[in-house]
Structure 1
Amino acid sequence: MKKILLVITTCLISPLLLAKSVQVKSPDGNIVVTVNDDKTPNYRIDFNNEGAIEASRLGLRFQKAAELGLGFAITDTQRNTVDSNWQLPWGERKNVRDHYNELLVTFSLDRQSANTFNVRFKVFNDGIGFRYEVPSQPGLDGNIAITNELTEFNVGQPEQTTAWWIPSRGWNRYEYIYQTTKLIDVDHVHTPFTFKLANGHHLSIHEAALVDYAGMTLQKQRGGSLKADLTPWYDGILVRKTAGFTTPWRTVQVSKDAVGLLNSDLILNLNEPSKIEDTSWIEPSKYVGIWWGMHVGENTWGSGDKHGATTSETKRYMDFAAKYGFKGVLVEGWNIGWDGQWYDNGDVFNFTKAYDDFNIKAITEYGLAKGVRLVGHHETSGNVTNYRNQMEDAFKLYQQHGVRQVKTGYVADGGKIKRIDENGIARMEWHDGQFMSNEYLYNIKLAAKYQISINTHEPIKDTGLRRTYPNWIAREGARGQEYNAWGSPPNPPSHTAILPFTRMLSGPMDFTPGTFDMAFKGLGADTDRPQTTLAKQLALYVVIYSPIQMASDLPRNYEANLPAFQFILDVPTDWQESKAIAGEVGKYVAFARQERDGDDWYLGALTNEDARTLTLSLDFLDKTKRYQAQIYRDGEKANWVDNPYEMIIEQKEVSAADSLTLPLATSGGAAIRFKALN
């Protein structure tokens, strides 16, 4: 009788006895990830001995196989530690440390098919990444359709957690004004998704190495839970894979303050090393372009009397570029397809045939003789099949004429891309679905074959693939400067104080700063125009990172203010080191960056609609040197509404032991070059 009672008792408590829990910590011990198999596989994150992400579900569901999740138990673990260094051919810094502790957890269930999967965790000092690794097995051994990813990010105290976000799966892709709300009021959002806990800790959820998979958005659930919501194909399937697959990394960057998020290399470290052996042809640089004139109505993309992309106009811009040291001239509207409603002309764009008033051979020869390259442009207007059919010929043409960089565009009215399937049927796909994930990458790989770098507009979000494919040199992926010409409303003063903590955590952005004429439609608070001071426009060259930076305004506006223009001429686009030194999300931010393989440093600081004074330590400077600080800052009476131009340009001798006090006007800024003196 005792034996029978013992057996019954054991059965009743066995789920608790069998539940397993394993942990992995960051190298500095501050981040702890706990993985558990109680009822369903889950994980939690603690930071500095406080909860950051509470117990959150893991798992996958399929169209024709049982769920990987509910009832699975931990059956094996493997551990590893990595501490190495690698170099970026271009970037925010030259040398990157890759230091993490790794835990591979195997979950299994006693059944005949779909009975095992792995989750690999990498825990860095600045956050974590984890991904699913599903081996080939009965039930998951052929073509596989994923219908649900069960991953959750469970945030406690949502009523006390502040979030900065843009809506996902909307008609305008990623080009929305950021909202600032409590997490409880968040709906369906894009990543990077940044939030501040009640205890002041800052986190950002994103993903790394998005290859052959659907982009992850986040859907708000009950309470503070955020669930992975993968962007579907036209037919509702989320992801199509074959046996033995891995997912992208799900990432959580963690910091005690907002500034710490800006100094993270986690996304890059979770991507594979470069697949391009010789990167010497990838050239960080500054450029100008026949572009802003279209946005302010002086020129047109389409042909006619006001056509911007003409041989004579391009040569004029090349003269300006050569005079001031710019390496490229972007020309939009040169090829057949821009007449009429070009944003709905995807079927008729021709990527090798120019309008009669644009002679690509004469233009490129003229520019190369002056040390200036044509920056190419391919606008798909949302028809990627038409582009795919012409893509190789288009790259051949550009390579023939010495073009090294191409800006691509995927404008699509309604927010979806048009493709023609193998049966000739038109299908509509989201920009961040699996189909387009592969299509964007196909473009990058083919461009590399012809030694061309790509600057993608209307892109899929950046997930660090620039490490693997360094010719993916920049993207858009947020509201850029053009919205200040016609955005109604334009970007608010807080916009560029939010971008570094959200969109910019994913990678470089071609924001196209540098507007000098704020009054092309008149000044005022309700006018479509940059809601900034002139000094803030200069600060953007340091704050909003891109290895290709545009001086976006018209040449005459720069030549009318050469003293301020000097900062744009001086500032590099490639950096030895970058350090965020101050900031609060949506309020203000300050970055210091050292020129690549040089001694000079640059600083950019900007604020939102509130004027403020920042006192910044210069301890980032080399302690053995003295510097001439060439300062461009707001004047005493400057404000963005009706006095944006007032600027003080001054010089001071400083060292690493000094600090600078910078008064910033409403939506103002400061830009500084620290020129080494010894």
Structure 2
Amino acid sequence: MFKKLSIILLLIATISCSKQEKDSTIEIISPNAKNKISFNLKNGIPTYSVSHGETKVLNASNLGFVFKKGDSLSNNFEIINQSETTFNENWEPVWGEHKTIQNNYNQLSVTLQEKTEAKRKIEVQFRAFNDGIAFRYVYPEQGKDSIIIMDELTTFNLNDDGDAWWIGAYQDNRYEYLTTKSPVSTLDKVHTPLTIKSKNGLSLSFHEANLKNFASMTLSRTNDTELKADLVPWADGDRVKTNGSFTTPWRTLQIAEQPKDLLISNLILNLNDSNKIEDTSWIKPHKYLGIWWGMHIGKYSFWESPIQGATTKNAIEHIDYCKKFGIDHLLIEGWNKGWTPAWYENAMHMFSFTKEADNFDLKKVTDYAKENGVSIIGYHETGSNIINYLEQIDAGMGLYNQVGIHDVKIGQVGSRLNMKEWHHGQFGVNYYRYVLDKALENKLTVNFHEPIKDTGERRTYPNMMAREGARGQEYNAWSDGNPPSHTAILPFTRMLAGPMDFTPGVLDVDIKQGYEGRDVHTTAAKQLALYVVYHSPIQMLADLPENYDGNPAFKFLQDVPVDWNDTKVLNAEIGEYVTTVRKDKYSEDWYLGSITNEESREFEIQLSFLDENTSYEAQIYADAEGITWNSNAEKVHISNKIVTSKDTLKLSLAEGGGVAIRFIKK
């Protein structure tokens, strides 16, 4: 009898093992028990799905790769190992939106092995956070010294359609386009972050984190609401060149029940490596003036000419303005040889990074700046001639060290690097990381323009201060400009990736000097509010300094910090409005910024974020009554009011307008 029972139990166990091998499901859930990832292996084919509470977000979605010569790694697998871990820590960024960030997730690691003769292995690591999910592939070295990835088979099979805010991939101006809103089911190939307001009520954003030595991921719609990873290729068509092993960036999906919750997610940062810089005392968040806007509006030229912008005389005048205004940094573009009227056209321009332009004396300027407590920000425009730049990078950065420059803006104007490779392909990803390492060697902070997209590198490299990577303020100077809704879209799209050097602060919103008929498409009060709504550890005061001198609204720009202790989003709707409050890292003051699109709005704001049992002076900079973004837009109504945490404040925003407030603790 016992022997018979043992045989039956053995048979049941064998059947169970056989069934598990054929059809196995493993689940991992976030610490708050809302976001669930389900991994499934059925008939040797791996898939995953995602849900948020009772809401299905992603149906069964594919995993895998195609290597060179059609070699596929996507099926005929068995699970040879699995493990689950929990992680919870609090860490302090060198600078940022919060003094402390919690990194809390549950992880599932599944190691798959092919049942074929090759028996190749690949590990998939899934992480479930309270604000979304992420996963990546780890392919160990397995006897080959070179593997070329031709396709990544990862899909994101959305259960529901919804409105998507997107920028098309594979365009010559990289990420510098206006955002389009349309159903997911109409997309073609798009950049990330891709933000979606789903019909199921959730707000979603697809992106990637910790992108290094890999191609950037764009998304291609393959069927109805299914999106697929589309890796940006090299010029020769290869997607990723490896040395026989690889670890992909994290594929990320931020999940929020309200749009405003996307804006406070730290998921991208938490998926990056810890700070690698021991001494960070030289990394200083700052505001800066610039010899810059005048070039874009046509007052000055970038190149040597009768209206040359970067002259010793102009630089000294700007340093004097910095001292007068209490602004301790100044950007000077065009100081070096190589600038021509055609500098921005696609060509292998030959800039020098050590030779001064006519009428400019670098040592005289930097010495004068130092005497007056001002730091000069250097500029390296490569024109996307990366061969030329890398030949000079040591000398160029070394020169900055010699003259006491600690910050550099680096531009890559051009549709292709070396007129050949996409900025966001593997070549570009490795180039930007190499330059960042070089800057670290020279203790320089970096502001990339025409960059690779941000994927959270600032956690590992806190000298990676900000970057462009979208249509910034300069488009208002020499094109039809950015519509008022543009500034209400960026927080939910581009800025979910990280800080942007948008260059706000133009108070001469009608642009009285420069190209006829141009304006910045916002009210002046909205320009002030952008300093709170748009986070960056470096913020440009972009206007001509003479437009600040004597302007009462400029006081807010002098006061507003760039480094924060805490951040809260009070209300937000994608492309329509955002109201953000932030607490200064070095005082008890709070700051509020509220912006709207083309519609005027009124908000009743609860001030419960303020400390209890104390009074604050609210210094309010609001749109003057009766104005709009294209009518008397420069008028700012400034008022003061005593408030407490129990009060409600009424905000009135004009069409294309905003409100900025400083709360000073009494």
**TM-score with structure 2 setting the length:** 0.95
Aligned counterpart, 1:465 = 457
1:329 aligns to 2:340 (yes or no):
no
Q: How far apart, CA to CA, are the structure 1 residues paired with 2:504 and 2:145?
A: 49
1:549 corresponds to which of 524, 539, 545: 539
Alignment of 1:257-272 (within 5 A): 257-272=258-273
CA contact (8 A) 1:634 1:646 kept: yes
Note the alpha carbon deviations across 1:15-70, whole angstroms, 9 max, x for none.
78721000000000010110111242111110121111221111111115832212
Structure 1 residue aligned with 2:6 = none
Residue aligning to 1:211: 212
Does the 8 A contact of 2:164 with 2:194 survive in 1?
Answer: yes
- Look up the equivalent residue of 1:331 and give its one-letter code: I
Q: CA deviation at 1:14?
A: 6.6
Contact kept? 2:76, 2:116, Cα under 8 Å? no
Q: Distance in 2 between matches of 1:64 and 1:187?
A: 26
Aligned-partner residue type, residue 446 of structure 1? K
Distance 1:114 1:409, change over 3 A: farther
Shift of residue 560, structure 1, vs aligned partner: 4.3
Give the equivalent residue in structure 1 for 2:409.
Answer: 407
Residue by residue over 1:53-100, the C-alpha shift from the partner in whole angstroms, topping out at 9 and shown as x without a partner, is: 221111111115832212323332101001111110111112111100
- Map of 1:367 onto structure 2: 369
1:67 aligns with 2:72: yes
Deviation for aligned residue 1:522: 9.3
After TM superposition, give the deviation of residue 521 of structure 1 in Å: 5.8
> Out of 485, 492, 504, which is 1:501 matched to?
492
Distance 1:353 1:59, change over 3 A: same
Aligned partner of 1:647 in structure 2 is 636
**What displacement does 1:110 show?**
1.1
**Distance in 1 of aligned mates of 2:435 and 2:51:** 40
**Equivalent position amino acid for 2:400 in 1:** Y
Deviation at 1:339, TM superposition (A): 1.7
* 1:558 paired residue number: 548
Q: Which residue pairs with 1:421 in the alignment?
A: none
The residue type equivalent to 1:119 in the other structure is V
Distance in structure 2 (CA, Å) of the matches to 1:295 and 1:343: 12
Distance in 2, Cα, partners of 1:263 & 1:624:
27
- Cα distance in 1 for residues equivalent to 2:102 and 2:588: 22
Q: Distance in 2 between matches of 1:520 and 1:537?
A: 13
1:126-525 map, 5 Å: 126-138=131-143, 141-158=144-161, 161-344=162-345, 346-412=348-414, 415-418=415-418, 428-488=420-480, 490-520=481-511
The residue type paired with residue 279 of structure 1 is: T
Mapped contact 2:621–2:636 kept (Cα < 8 A): yes
Q: Where does 1:105-116 land on structure 2 (aligned, <5 Å)?
A: 105-113=110-118, 115-116=120-121
How many Å separate the matches in 1 of 2:348 and 2:402?
25
Conservation of the 8 A alpha-carbon contact between 1:41 and 1:73: no
- Given that 1:88 and 1:467 are in contact with CA atoms closer than 8 Å, whether structure 2 keeps it comes out as yes
1:582 aligns with 2:584: no
In structure 1, list runs of 5 or more residues that go unmatched.
1-6, 419-426
Cα distance in 1 for partners of 2:473, 2:154 equals 35
Alignment equivalent of 1:35, drawn from 32, 35, 39: 39
Is it true that 1:531 corresponds to 2:532 in the alignment? no
Q: Does the C-alpha gap of structure 1 residues 585 and 527 become closer, same or farther in structure 2, counting only changes over 3 Å?
A: farther
Counterparts of 2:437 and 2:157, CA distance in 1: 37
Identity percentage over the alignment?
A: 46
Secondary structure of 2:410's match? strand
SS for the counterpart of 2:150 is strand
Name 1:123's counterpart in structure 2.
128
Amino acid aligned to 1:373: S
- Aligned partner of residue 416 in structure 1, secondary structure: coil
- C-alpha distance in 2 between matches for 1:122 and 1:257: 22
AA aligned opposite 1:57? N
In structure 2, distance between residues paired with 1:243 and 1:334: 44
Structure 1's consecutive aligned runs of 4 or more residues displaced over 6 angstroms after TM superposition are 13-17
CA contact (8 A) 1:66 1:114 kept: no
State how many pairs are aligned: 652
User: TM (normalized to structure 1)?
Assistant: 0.94
Match in the other structure for 2:3:
none
| Cα pair 2:136 2:248 within 8 Å, conserved | yes
The answer (yes or no) to whether the contact 2:254–2:267 under 8 Å persists in 1 is yes
Q: CA deviation at 1:316?
A: 0.3
User: What amino acid sits opposite 1:272 in the alignment?
Assistant: D
- The C-alpha deviation readout for 1:441-500, integer Å capped at 9, x for no partner, is 111111111110010000000000011111111100000000011122x11111111100
Query: Residue 312 of structure 1 aligns to which amino acid in structure 2?
Result: K
Give yes or no for contact 2:166–2:179 (8 Å, CA) kept in 1.
Answer: yes
Secondary structure, aligned partner of 2:295: helix
1:540 is matched with which residue: 526, 530, 536?
530
Provide the rounded CA distance (Å) in 2 between the counterparts of 1:522 and 1:338.
23
Question: Residues 125-161 of structure 1, C-alpha deviation per residue, up to 9 Å, x if partnerless?
Answer: 00111100112224xx211100110111111232xx0
Q: Provide the C-alpha distance between the structure 2 equivalents of 1:71 and 1:256, rounded to a whole number of angstroms.
A: 38
